[in-house]
Structure 1
Amino acid sequence: MLRLSAAAFLAFLSCPFAAAAQEEAPPSRCVAIANALPHATHASFTASKAAAPILAQTFVEGDVTITYAGHSTYVIETPAGVRIATDFSGVYGSEPLPRVVTMNKAHRTHFSDHPDSSIEFVLRGWNPKGGPAKHTVVVDDVYIRNVPTDIRNWGGGLERDGNSIFIFEVAGLCIGHLGHLHTKLSDAQYGQIGRLDILMVPIDGGMTQSIGSMTEITTRLYSSMILPMHRHATPIGEFTGLMGEGFAVEFRPSRSLKVSLKTLPSRPTIIVLEGV
């Protein structure tokens, strides 16, 4: 997968390929860059219409703070102060209350039927009315979108579109949370995800997928920073060992880290925060 320096990414923001008319969702920089510069395109680009600059969100440069709250909940705080909690059940990441929460429904530890009414954006990874969930939400300096995936139901069969991979595009970074991912990803889904600088991956060893399957997905996405989550009894070394020598490993004595496009690791690195 194509990797870009900070300077190259910022140059992309002002290049003519970033100017296009919008049909539906704002174009994803993560997808466009993965499709390779300088011929980057996006499905929502329409060259026949009058070109006008489109930015999915107000670009605010600075650090993104990521905190492991517990289970599959990471709290993401953007440079503009937007607070997001992933796979939110209300148990983790609720203080202070996030402005945005994402949820998945494979287990009750990943969603809430009664989220606090003060939460401005409640993004469910499934569609209660049926069919796939579709989110393309801009909140100040972050663009949030999803890629639906299937889940196993309690009868052992597949439930279509019961999970979503949520992607957060902020400060030039592409951050992906795999949710309660039960199935391998298709080429089309990899294409919808695009480039991810930071990947949050479940390593429970079976409630989602086997460690071997998760390492295959993680290796293909080849993110600069990998943040494990949803670990139960699985030794952390089982995951890091299968990832191999191409991935560095760091154990941090803190639940939080700060990261920007300029401070991403030069080598793909698995970072294990306190509590994981």
Structure 2
Amino acid sequence: MKIKWLGHASFLISSDSGVRIITDPYEPNDKLRYGNINESADIVTVSHDHSDHGNVAAVKGNPQVVKDNARIKGIEFKGVPAFHDTAGGKERGKNTIFCFEVDGVKVCHLGDLGHGLTAEQVAAIGAVDVLLLPVGGFYTIDAAVASQTAEQLKPGVVIPMHFKSNKCDFPIATVEEFLRGKKDVNKPDASEVELKAGKLPEATRVIVLKPAL
């Protein structure tokens, strides 16, 4: 399977058989200048209905939209309830964590997670091979809580998302704060990585992708 970072919290995940999943498609604006999403997909997951995560109309191919538990094209999607803040959703609402398996690789997309995970949430998420992890803070967990979350879930690969960049002017931190002190960091000159079940790192590796858009 392949994972391409489109930008912000949006990824294109492609199975070996050609099933295409897009997570949290964004709507560009003056502060979020990643390019328009012109990709097609079979499935779109939406963690919450804010414009920088729920722009389903941008995705081509008449995809099926997943906002909770679902089974589509042989892939089980598990939605784990969470919040967009540390106040039980009172400030920014609810957030859904999505867990699904593609070609034997267990993926977890945390959406705009705004708090540390509870033991119950960790148990509900279960085993994780690839963790798509917000790290920028302010709207989501910050670098410190993101690091704790990675330690809780123990994925083979972490791909950071939702951080400040030259295309994102939100009042959030860059990825560098999260990377500080990490032992295994890979920064390929690419927006896409191919991952295979049984060939993932035993200790967590952080892969920082370049935005495709």
Give TM-score scaled by structure 1 length. 0.65
Structure 1 CA distance for aligned equivalents of residues 140 and 188 of structure 2: 25
Q: Deviations over 1:134-185 (max 9, x none)?
A: 3121313x322211112349xx82566x211111212111100000001221
Q: Which residue of 1 aligns with 2:62?
A: 119
The reply to whether residue 135 of structure 1 matches residue 66 of structure 2 is no
- Which of 151, 168, 174 is matched with 2:84 structurally? 151
Shift of 1:263: 2.3
2:196 maps to 260
State percent identity of aligned pairs: 25
CA contact (8 A) 1:198 1:225 kept: yes
Give yes or no for contact 2:107–2:129 (8 Å, CA) kept in 1. Answer: yes
Q: Is the 8 A contact 2:8 2:26 kept in 1?
A: no
Kept after mapping to 1: 8 A contact 2:47/2:97: no
1:117 shift after superposition:
7.9
| 2:107 and 2:130 in contact (8 A); partners too | yes
CA contact (8 A) 1:75 1:93 kept: no
CA–CA separation in structure 1 for the residues paired with 2:63 and 2:105: 23
Q: 1:179 aligns with which of 111, 118, 128?
A: 111
8 Å contact from structure 1 (residues 184, 217) kept in 2:
yes
Greater relative contact order (Cα < 8 A, sep 6+): 2
- Superposed, which structure 2 residues align to 1:43-192 within 5 Å? 64-89=1-26, 94-105=37-48, 107-112=50-55, 114=57, 118-124=61-67, 134-140=68-74, 142-152=75-85, 157-158=90-91, 162-192=94-124
In 2 relative to 1, CA 260–150 (structure 1 residues): closer, same or farther, beyond 3 Å? same
Of 158, 173, 186, which aligns to 1:234? 173
Rg bigger for which structure?
A: 1
User: Could you tell me whether the CA contact under 8 Å between 2:84 and 2:139 is conserved in 1?
Assistant: no
In structure 2, what is the equivalent of residue 273 of structure 1?
A: 209
What amino acid is the match of 1:180? D
Counterpart residue number, 1:47: none
* Bigger share in helix: 1
CA distance in 1, matches of 2:48, 2:208: 25
**C-alpha separation in 2, matches of 1:237 and 1:151:** 23
Cα distance, 1:209 vs structure 2: 1.8
Task: State whether residues 11 and 22 of structure 2, in contact with CA within 8 Å, keep that contact through their aligned partners in structure 1.
Answer: yes
SS at match of 2:96: strand
Deviation at 1:97, TM superposition (A): 1.0
Shift in alpha-carbon separation, 1:273–1:193, aligned structure 2, 3 A? same
> Where do 1:21-36 residues align within 5 Å?
none
Query: Equivalent residue for 1:209?
Result: 141
Secondary structure, counterpart of 2:180 in structure 1? helix
| Conservation of the 8 A alpha-carbon contact between 1:106 and 1:180 | no
Compared CA separation, residues 198 and 227, structure 1 to 2 (3 A): same
2: CA distance between counterparts of 1:108 and 1:259?
30
* Whole-angstrom CA distance in 2 between matches of 1:181 and 1:193: 13
1:84-117 residue CA offsets vs partner (Å, 9 max, x unmatched): 1101236568433111111133631011374668
Structure 2 unpaired stretches of 5+:
29-34, 165-171
Instruction: Single out whichever of 223-232 and 180-189 deviates more from structure 2.
Output: 180-189
Query: 1:198 aligned to 106, 112, 130, which one?
Result: 130
Report the number of matched residues: 198
Which residue identity does 2:82 align to in structure 1?
Answer: T
